[in-house]
A and B are shown apart, each in its own frame.
Chain A
Amino acid sequence: MNRDIFDVDPELADLLKGEPDLIDLAGRLRDAHPQPRLDEHFRAHLRAQLMRAAPAELRPRGWRRVRRALALPSGVWLAGTGAGLGLAMAGAAAAIVLYSHSHSDVVTVGLTASNVAEKHTVDPDNVIEISFSQPMDRTAVVKGIKIQPATSFSTQWKDDKTLVIVPAHHLAANTPYTVRIAPQSARDIQGNTATAPIVIAFGTKPAPSATPAVSPAPPPELELHTIGSALAGGLVIAPDGGVSLAAGAVPPPRRPQRRHRRPCPAWFTSPPTAPPPSSALR
C-alpha cells in the first residue's frame, strides 16, 4: 500500500513522509473512493440541454454589448446573428448527420441542434454520418465503433474525415441508440488519439400505426457517384460483440423508452434565455 502511494502520487508521499500510518491511511482512503455509476442517459440529456442553450449563451462579446445597449429581445438577437452562428456551426469539429434511405428528407441532428425530443424522432431508415475534424485512420475508427443496442452495420468513408454508418437493417423504432467510438480508436492519420470516447446519442421515432413497406433498395445518397470514390470496403460488424470494445468504454446501462428518470429543475428546461437563479460565478 505504501509503495502504491509513492508510485502514484509522489507529492502525497512527500507530504506524508515520515508518517507511515498516514501513508497507509491515504492508501485506504484512495481505495475507498466512491466510484459513481455514470448514467449515459443523463450525460446525453444534459449535453442536449447545453447545446440547446449554447447558441444564446455563446455570443460574440461585441454583440453582447450592443444587445445590452439596445436592450434587444432574444428573438431579434437570434435573427440578427443567425447567419454568423450558422457559419460557426459549419466549422464544428464533430457533427452527426442522419439522412433518410428514401432521401425524401435530410435531417441534421447535430450535436449542436439535438434535444431529447428531436433525438427521439429520428427515422429508423436513417444512416449515420459522422464528420471528424481531421483526416482519420479509417481502419482504427471502424474497429472502435460500437452501437447500442447491438446493431449490424457497414461503414463507408466519403473522405478521410467523413464516415457513414449504414445499419444492415432498419433501426428499431422508438429506441434510444448510442454510437460510441473508443478513444484509442478515434485516431487520426498522424496517430493522435482522442482522450475521450466519441459518443453520439439519439432516439428513433415510434413506428407508424400501419406498417410501411420495407424497401430493400440501398439509399440513393450512398451510391458511389454520389458519395465519392473513397469508399472503404463496407465492413460488416456482427451484433454479438464482434466490434472491438475499448477498455473503459463500458456499454451504458440501457433504459429503453426513458428519457430521464425524474423531472428536471425548472431552470433546466426553461428557454435558453432564462438562466438559473444562481447565474453568477462566485
Chain B
Amino acid sequence: MTLPRAFEDRLVERARTDPDAFGELYDHYFAQIYRFVYSRVRDQEAAEDVTSEVFFKALRAIHRYRPSGHPFSAWLYQIGSNAIADHYRARRPDTNLDSAIGVRAPGSAVDEQVVERDEAARVWAAIDALPESQRTALTLKLGEDLKLAQIGVIMGKSEGAVKLLIHRGMIGVRHRLNIATGPVTGVAM
C-alpha cells in the first residue's frame, strides 16, 4: 500500500503546486484513510464527512508538510485522527453496532454470518469503551497494520508509549469481554 519513498517524495513535492499530483495522492490514499475513519466512527455518512475534511485539510496544509522519514500516509492519518477527535467532541457516535459493522464472510452460512456479526459487534463495542488514545492505537495497529513507529508519529507519542497503549488496550478489551460474557478467568477487577 505504501508508495516507493523516492517516488512518493517527488509526488508530494509536486503536489504542493500541482493539483494533478495531489489527485494522485488522493487516489492512492483515499481507501486507506476512509477505512481508518470508518473503523473509528462506524457510520458511512460520518465517515464520508470526516474523510472529506481530512483531504481538504491536507490540500490546504500540504505546503507545510515536511517529510519526516515516514510515509506520507502517516501525515494523513494524523490529520484523520484529529478530525475523528473533533467529530467525537461534536457528537457522540451512534452505538447501533449491529447495523454498522460488516464482516467479510464469503461463502459462510447465514447463521455463521450472524454469529460472526455478533462477535464483531461485541469485540468492537469493547474497544469503543476504551480511552481514546488506546482506541486509536489499537485501530491503527490491528485495523491498519501500521508499524509502532508510524503510530507514534501519528499520535505524537514515543514508540514505547504506543506499545503501552496497545498493551493496556488489549487488557482492557479482554477485561470488558470477560465481563460481557460472564465467566471471569482470573482477571483482576
List, in ascending order, chain B residues with CB within 8 A of A47's CB.
23, 26-27, 30
Which residues of B, 1-42, contact A by the 8 Å Cβ criterion? 1-3, 15-24, 26-28, 30-31, 34-35, 38-39, 42
Of A167-175, A218-226, A271-279, which binds chain B? A271-279
B60 within 8 A of A: yes
Complex contact A38–B56 (CB within 8 A): no
List, in ascending order, chain A residues with CB within 8 A of B35's CB.
35-36
Interchain CB contact (< 8 A) of A61 among B63, B119, B120, B148 = B63
A214 within 8 A of B: no
Interchain CB contact (< 8 A) of A50 among B1, B59, B166 = B59
Complex contact A265–B49 (CB within 8 A): yes
Which residues of A, 23-80, contact B by the 8 Å Cβ criterion? 25-26, 28-39, 42-43, 46-47, 49-51, 53-55, 57-61, 64
Interchain CB contact (< 8 A) of B174 among A21, A58, A195 = A21
A196 within 8 A of B: yes
Flag A104-118 by CB within 8 Å of B: 1 or 0 each. Answer: 000000111000000
Complex Cα–Cα for A50 and B35 (A): 19
Number of A-B contacts (CB under 8 A): 174
Q: Take A58-B59, A88-B18, A111-B23 as given contacts and tell me if A34 and B82 are in contact as well, using a CB distance cutoff of 8 Å.
A: no
Complex contact B103–A32 (CB within 8 A): yes
B57 within 8 A of A: yes
Complex Cα–Cα for A11 and B21 (A): 33
Complex contact B44–A36 (CB within 8 A): yes
Interchain CB contact (< 8 A) of B171 among A22, A42, A197, A279 = A22
List, in ascending order, chain B residues with CB within 8 A of A268's CB.
52, 56
Complex contact A22–B28 (CB within 8 A): no
Interchain CB contact (< 8 A) of A34 among B39, B57, B61, B174 = B39
Q: Take A22-B170, A91-B18 as given contacts and tell me if A53 and B28 are in contact as well, using a CB distance cutoff of 8 Å.
A: no
Complex contact B143–A95 (CB within 8 A): no
Output the least CB separation between A96 and chain B (Å): 11
How many chain B residues touch the partner (CB < 8 A)?
70
List, in ascending order, chain A residues with CB within 8 A of B101's CB.
32, 34
A189 within 8 A of B: no
Complex Cα–Cα for A34 and B127 (A): 12
Complex Cα–Cα for A35 and B102 (A): 6
A150 within 8 A of B: no
Complex Cα–Cα for A58 and B22 (A): 9
B70 within 8 A of A: no
How many chain A residues touch the partner (CB < 8 A)?
63
Most buried by B among A12, A39, A264: A12
B66 within 8 A of A: no
B74 within 8 A of A: no
Output the least CB separation between B130 and chain A (Å): 11
B184 within 8 A of A: no
Complex contact B26–A50 (CB within 8 A): yes
Output the least CB separation between B40 and chain A (Å): 9
A281 within 8 A of B: yes
Complex Cα–Cα for A282 and B48 (A): 20
Complex Cα–Cα for A9 and B143 (A): 11
Complex contact A34–B51 (CB within 8 A): no
A199 within 8 A of B: yes
List, in ascending order, chain B residues with CB within 8 A of A21's CB.
174, 185
Output the least CB separation between B30 and chain A (Å): 6
Q: Take A50-B55, A58-B19 as given contacts and tell me if A15 and B166 are in contact as well, using a CB distance cutoff of 8 Å.
A: yes
List, in ascending order, chain B residues with CB within 8 A of A196's CB.
27-28, 31
Interchain CB contact (< 8 A) of B86 among A51, A61, A95, A278 = A278
Residues of A within 8 A of B (CB): 8-9, 11-12, 15-16, 21-22, 25-26, 28-39, 42-43, 46-47, 49-51, 53-55, 57-61, 64, 88-89, 91-95, 110-112, 195-199, 262, 264-265, 268, 275-276, 278-279, 281-282
11 contacts between A and B (CB under 8 A): A11-B147, A30-B143, A31-B120, A35-B103, A50-B23, A50-B56, A60-B17, A95-B20, A265-B52, A275-B60, A282-B82
Report the 9 A-B pairs with minimum CB-CB distance, sorted nearest first: A92-B20, A54-B19, A32-B120, A36-B38, A196-B28, A33-B143, A112-B19, A32-B123, A22-B170
